[in-house]
Amino acid sequence: MNQNTTKGRHPILFSLMFGILLTLLVSIASAVATILELGDRGIMLAQGCAFLIMAIIVTVYMNKKDRAMASFGFIKPDLRKGKATLYYIPLLIIAVVQPIMGGFNLELSLKDVLIVIVFSLLVGYTEESVFRGIIRERLQFKGTVFYIVFSSLFFGILHMANALNGTGIIHILLQVINALLIGFILALLIETTGNIIPLIAFHFLFDTLAQLTSNAIVDQEVLAVSILNVLYLLYGAYLIYGFMSRKKAGSANLSI
């Protein structure tokens, strides 16, 4: 099926199916690992296998003959463009909030750390390729605003399951808002820069540092999520302002 045919046949349904497929694979892997009582690391390994399968599917799809990886945002970063690079500084701040507040888990073995790194890399590549790569490419003809709203809501909804593990209404509410806002920020960023590679790097770094953070962060979880949500709101306002300014001036999207 070529690109034009896909766009003409239910692109929204196609996008929904791609995201649901990813969630379904991970859910099945988690359920199997839980039934087999494999423990936390076993569940992570099972989920990693699911992400690996999806990563292969995603890569094969994006490398079809009638497409170029650049159309999905895979563009070589140009660090000489300092103004563009500044967009990513807040991401570094966001990524280190949890380890700064809770410290690192020094009880983890080298094996545990390696598992976390590989797992986070698979998650970052796969989720960004789906939500900020494939879905964006499929919905480009619907317009920038539609894509940002659709993808951020969809990304948030599919990540709300994690929030339901919370023990209090405040915890759940903050986690739900967190999922929606991070999806919104990343959608704004891909529309602002057109480059998915820094987003994959951030996703990988954020997940890695979060999983290497000491369990002491649990006692400050509400505060940590609140801080992250405030950062997302401020960052989102900054990106929207820049986006609207360029749109008003009729400038083209920034490429790095």
Predicted confidence (pLDDT) per residue in 167-226, tens digit? 567 767 777 788 899 999 999 999 988 899 999 999 999 999 999 999 888 788 888 988
Written as six digits, the tokens of 215 are 């369990």
59, 190, 246 from 63: Cα distances, Å = 6, 20, 31
Confidence label for 250 from pLDDT (cuts 50, 70 and 90): low
pLDDT at site 169? 72
Confidence label for 15 from pLDDT (cuts 50, 70 and 90): very high
The verdict on residue 151 lying in a domain is: yes
Name residue, tokens 């290497």.
212
Q: Which amino acid is at 125?
A: Y
Lowest mean pLDDT among 82-91, 124-133, 151-160, 217-226: 82-91
Q: Which amino acid is at 150?
A: F
The verdict on residue 133 lying in a domain is: yes
pLDDT at site 202? 95
The verdict on residue 154 lying in a domain is: yes
Cβ distance 181 to 189 under 8 Å? no
Name residue, tokens 């989920």.
47
Q: Shortest CA distance to 20 belongs to which of 60, 49, 54, 45?
A: 54
The verdict on residue 49 lying in a domain is: no
pLDDT at site 228? 93
Show Cβ contacts of residue 21 under 8 Å, excluding neighbours closer than 6 positions.
54, 57
pLDDT at site 193? 86
As for how many domains the chain has, the answer is 1
Give the single-character DSSP code of 104.
B
pLDDT at site 80? 61
Residue 81 Rama label (left phi>0; alpha psi -120 to 50; beta)? beta
The verdict on residue 105 lying in a domain is: yes
Cβ distance 94 to 231 under 8 Å? yes
Confidence label for 166 from pLDDT (cuts 50, 70 and 90): low
The verdict on residue 79 lying in a domain is: yes
What distance in Å separates the CA atoms of residue 4 and residue 131, rounded to the nearest whole number? 20
The verdict on residue 53 lying in a domain is: no
Q: How many residues does the chain have?
A: 256
Confidence label for 134 from pLDDT (cuts 50, 70 and 90): very high
Confidence label for 6 from pLDDT (cuts 50, 70 and 90): very low
Lowest mean pLDDT among 52-61, 62-71, 86-95, 108-117: 62-71
How many CB atoms are closer than 10 A to CB 122? 21
pLDDT at site 210? 93
What distance in Å separates the CA atoms of residue 245 and residue 145, rounded to the nearest whole number? 15
Would the pLDDT of 107 be above 70?
A: yes
Q: What percentage of the chain reaches a pLDDT higher than 70? A: 86
Confidence label for 251 from pLDDT (cuts 50, 70 and 90): very low
The verdict on residue 103 lying in a domain is: yes
Q: What is the mean pLDDT of residues 245-250?
A: 70
pLDDT at site 252? 46
How many CB atoms are closer than 10 A to CB 223? 12
What distance in Å separates the CA atoms of residue 113 and residue 29, rounded to the nearest whole number? 21
What distance in Å separates the CA atoms of residue 166 and residue 88, rounded to the nearest whole number? 30
Q: What percentage of the chain reaches a pLDDT higher than 90? A: 61
Would the pLDDT of 256 be above 50?
A: no
pLDDT at site 4? 47
Question: What's the chain's average pLDDT?
Answer: 86
Its domain, for residue 88, covers 69-249
Written as six digits, the tokens of 95 are 């990524």
